[in-house]
Chains A and B, each alone.
Chain A
Amino acid sequence: MKKFTLDSIVRDYLIEVGAESASDKRYPRYLQLAINGLREIAQAKQSYPKKITVDISDNGMIYLPDDYIDYRQIAICVGGRLFGLGLNKNLCDPANNDCGELNAPTINSHVSNYDNVFYGVTSSTNPNSPNEFGLGGGKNGIGYYNVFEDKGYIAISLTGYSFSWDTTSVILDYEADIQKDGFSGEFQVMPYDVEPLKAYIYWANMRRLRSYSMGEKDAARRDFERILHNSRKKEMKFNIRELVSALAESTFTGV
């Protein structure tokens, strides 16, 4: 797959603005703006996701990776297929035990009646039983999680199936920062992000400067948003095979 480096995009941009040489003093400025723009685009389009397998620690938590921004799903892999855990905001923040270690937030039977959310969960291995998970009751036969971003971990409570499957790790599918270790020339930009990135550099280059009119700044901002929107549309397109597949599963593609 053809990809572009930040260096090549900045040089391309320098050509567009009439520069004769990449030794131009504007290079580092445009490079920084390009990195900022890439972050903006990545967050807007969610185009740089990561999926990692994380071991669940003894105290029932997974620690957030350094480049974590937001999660997409937390799941376990069974039989080659992902089963997602459910968000439960009532899952307790793990407390320290006498030794100062964090306790696992596993829900057990004597607290399960408090808000009826976990009622019967620990005794079940059948997610279709109305008594235990109900229909539309928000229950999850795999388990639950609660994110504690300020503390840097996600509490995991495995229930039902995941217990019987002897689960020791989960798949963390998340929005990652584009580069946690800094940029050293290897980062690859997706082809659809190149034009939005150049439009972003143009806008960012003027938006804090007084020498440009509000009209120019506004036009540059709208140009960036339009190109970003078009780029999104290009990525969201689907072909006939995908459509047939989606219909076969009785699911609309939602384009």
Chain B
Amino acid sequence: MATLDTLSEQILRILGERTDDKSIDIRDVKLNVVQSLAYVVRARYFESKQDEQEIIDGTLISIFKNQEISTDVDTGSFYTQLPCDVISLPYGGGIRFVSPTKDTKVHFKQVQHGFCDLYRGLDSQNLENQIGYYVEQDKIYYVNLTNCDDIETVRMGILVGMPDLNTDPNFRIPMDMEYDIVREVLKVYGAWAEDDITNNTETKA
């Protein structure tokens, strides 16, 4: 399996052969690799949806342990700061699970953003005595969580969760995705290189 670094270096080498432009930086390529990875994961998810499955490769799930539960001073709601950006997939598929750090078998239930109002007074508002959460910008807010639950930190599984390009250099990319990612990145630089040539032509003229 390749890492972000090895894949970025490979792409840089290919680009070096294809263009003389020296301004392409490894950091740019790394960013493109991450963007392409998200694109490929999303495309594959929808491919699997055609077979009515929602297949996600477990190697792409990043685990974040001991994420603190805080209290919003204005509303009194409990929330946790998301440790990274999340891929936008149907049914909230970008966040694979949130569970108490010490009880990893029980996952909280993801609910819609308008859950509290829409389900108010209905029989399902207690979620069968389970804790739920919904995403709001860069935080997740909890539903049915009380102080009595005695949960201070949570464990999160986020699809392609990368808080920073440098903090997790060993993020592993499945082998069968490597070619797709390289191709996607080269597509971007291919278009850019052509523009560069066109501009040069105009200048010479």
Which chain A residues have a beta carbon within 8 Å of chain B's beta carbons? Answer: 5-7, 17-29, 31-32, 35, 179, 182-186
Chain A min CB distance to B128 (Å): 4
Nearest CB of A to B99, in Å: 9
Q: Within the complex, which residue of A5, A7, A24, A28 is in contact with B119, where a contact is CB–CB below 8 Å?
A: A28
In the complex, what's the smallest C-beta–C-beta distance from B93 to chain A, in angstroms?
A: 8
Encoded as 1 (CB less than 8 Å from any A CB) or 0, chain B from 106 to 125 comes to 01111110010001001111
- In the bound complex, residues from chain A placing their C-beta under 8 Å from that of B97 are 21, 23
Q: In the complex where A22-B109, A28-B109 touch, is A183 in contact with B123 (Cβ < 8 A)?
A: yes
Are B119 and A20 within 8 A (Cβ)? Answer: no
Cβ–Cβ < 8 Å partners of B112 in chain A: 25, 28-29
Which residues of B approach A to under 8 Å, CB–CB? 52-56, 91-93, 95-98, 107-112, 115, 119, 122-130, 132
- A185 to nearest B CB, angstroms? 4
| In the complex, residue of chain B having the shortest beta-carbon distance to the beta carbon of A181 | B123
Contact yes or no, B107 A31, CB < 8 A = no
Contact of A25 among B110, B122, B127 (CB under 8 A): B110
Q: A23-B92, A23-B97 are in contact. Are A35 and B110 (CB under 8 A)?
A: no
Does the CB pair A31–B128 fall under 8 Å? yes
CB pair A25 B124 closer than 8 Å: no
- In the complex, are the beta carbons of A183 and B53 less than 8 A apart? no
A27-B109, A28-B112 are known contacts. Are A19 and B54 too (CB-CB below 8 A)? yes
Residues of B within 8 A of A20 (CB): 54-56
| CB neighbours of A28 from chain B (8 A) | 109, 111-112, 115, 119, 124, 127, 132
Can you list 18 A-B pairs with a CB-CB distance of less than 8 A?
Answer: A20-B54, A23-B96, A23-B98, A23-B107, A23-B109, A24-B92, A24-B93, A25-B111, A25-B112, A26-B91, A28-B119, A28-B124, A31-B127, A32-B119, A32-B122, A35-B122, A179-B123, A185-B130
Q: Which residues of B contact A35 (CB under 8 A)?
A: 122-124
Residues of B contacting A182 in the complex (Cβ-Cβ under 8 angstroms): 123, 125-126
Chain B residues, Cβ within 8 Å of A7: 128, 130
Asked whether, in the complex, the Cβ of A183 is within 8 Å of the Cβ of B128, the reply is yes
A191 vs B28: C-alpha distance in the bound complex, in angstroms? 58
**Chain A nearest CB: distance from B125 CB in Å?**
8
- The chain A residue sitting closest to B118, CB to CB, is A28
Most buried by B among A5, A18, A21, A183: A21
Q: How far is the CB of A167 from chain B (nearest CB, A)?
A: 37
Given the interface pairs A23-B96, A23-B97, A23-B109, the reply to whether A183 lies near B124 with Cβ below 8 Å is yes
Measured between alpha carbons, how far is A26 from B109 in the docked complex, in Å? 9
Contact between chains at A32 and B91 (CB < 8 Å): no
**When the two chains form their complex, are residues B126 and A21 in contact, meaning their CB atoms are under 8 A apart?**
no
Whether the pair B128, A6 counts as a contact (CB closer than 8 A) is yes
Residue of A nearest to B56 (CB): A20
C-alpha spacing A234/B91, complex, angstroms: 37
Say yes or no: A22 contacts B107, CB within 8 Å: yes
Please state if B54 and A25 are interface contacts (CB–CB under 8 Å): no
Partner of A18, one of B52, B108, B123, B124: B52
In Å, the complex CA distance between A185 and B109 comes to 14
- With A184-B128, A185-B129, A185-B130 known to touch, is A27 a contact of B119 (CB < 8 Å)? no
**Contact partners of B110 in chain A: CB under 8 A:** 23-25, 27
Known: A25-B110, A185-B126, A186-B129. 11 other contacts (CB 8 A): A5-B128, A19-B54, A23-B97, A24-B92, A28-B109, A28-B119, A31-B128, A32-B119, A32-B123, A182-B125, A183-B126
